Structure 1
Amino acid sequence: MEMPTHIVAAGGIVEDDQGNILLVKTHHGGWVYPGGQVEVGENVINAVTREIKEESGIDTIVSHLIGVHSNTGMHKWYDGVTDVPTKVMFDFVCKPVGGELATSEETTDNRWVAKEQVLDMIEAPAIRTRFQAYLDFDGSVQYMDYVTKPAFELKMKRDI
């Protein structure tokens, strides 16, 4: 039996005391909230704070979990050859505790954006849908199952 392969990732919606959200501009995905893959031997909480720091220069602490998302579609990586497996992503609300805005190898820009203007900047349908779950957060963690290729399709959405 072949063992399943999944990418585990974490996203951090960083909100400051004025209600602004930290966004980073990536080379491939446009404006997004920071996040990325959990590395081998790393826990999800450390992964999200590391990714935020790497992509934006901002130090954070994790406040609470707001979403668990599965991208159950398989597709090719940007190289057109490598298969990207199913992803499981955890979205957290995080609070900034220090650091200075800085770009990285993965980001070309970053900024604090008023919460009500974030959806005007994010173009990727999956990221928009996940950010909307943050805006709609009522204390229940949102679970979503979707595919992004060939087009975004939300297959399931429910509170857990």
Structure 2
Amino acid sequence: MLIVSTVLVGLMAGLFFAFDVSVMPGLAAGDDQTYVTAMRAFNKAIDGNPLFGMVFLLALAAAVLSAVLEFRGGRRAVALWVGAAAVAYLVVLLITFTVNIPLNNELADAGDVTLMKDFEIVERFRSTWVTTNIIRTLLCTTALAGLARALLLHGRTAR
């Protein structure tokens, strides 16, 4: 279970990182209409993908279950690292549900992009969304590092 949680959190860290270093800078280089159209398409693809939803939510469940199993197995130091990783990932979920998803919905509800005259929504969206995504990347990477440490400790105690 510890390996599963590490892989799932790693996948999420990689996704957030990819947005930070390629997707968002690439979109920022284009015009506002393209930005809105592309972000809507990304969000629709992610929202409609059950595999994404499964990885996104199961990462936390797997980490919590791993922490419980490690604790019950008497590996308290391992459980502590996994628990800390689970908390970091929980904060990622909270940011996503309270900031990023509402922003995505606001952008989706802004109307026909070809009729938009005022693209103020794009700047508001971009500044907040990019900042919170960087925070999600850092938190996911922190969780991944904690899980990697837990794997190392688990391997040492299993010998």
In the superposition, the TM-score normalised over structure 1's length comes to 0.25
Give the number of the structure whose residues are more often helix, by fraction: 2
Give the number of the structure whose residues are more often strand, by fraction: 1
Q: Which has the higher contact order (CA 8 A, sep 6+)?
A: 2
In the superposition, the TM-score normalised over structure 2's length comes to 0.25
